[in-house]
Amino acid sequence: MSATERHGPLVTVPHRRYVLFTGRLADYIDGRCGPFDGESAPVPAFVWPADRRWCFTSDVDTHWAGIGADQAAVDRLLNSSGLDVVQAMPTERPPAYR
């Protein structure tokens, strides 16, 4: 893997800059890919599979993560006993620190 592939291109959105990493999630978790060279990798801000059936988002400024998926996948998350899941409504503000 070349240095460019390892570090990836930068993507900038308002108030944030991200490294775009493409690869297997298992490789990222195992530390075999990404720009962290043996350091603990932070939780990615965005994750989605090649088929784009779902998307995971997280940010350093919030205490929650968002997951976009079809209703069946959302229902499985809502019914999982080991997770604290709340269904978001597009017309409501997301939770914030108070």
Residue pair 66/57 in contact (Cβ under 8 Å)? The answer is yes
pLDDT in tens, 29-58: 776 655 555 566 667 788 888 899 999 888
For 52, residues 6+ apart whose C-beta sits below 8 A from its C-beta are none
Percent of the chain residues past pLDDT 90, beyond the cut = 12
Segments making up each domain of the chain, as ranges: 1-42, 47-90
- Average of pLDDT values for 68-79? 92
**Buried b / exposed e across 44-81, counting CB within 10 Å, b at 16+?**
bbebeeeeeeeebebeeeeeeeeeeeeeeebeeeeeee
| Predicted confidence band of residue 72 (pLDDT cuts 50, 70, 90) | very high
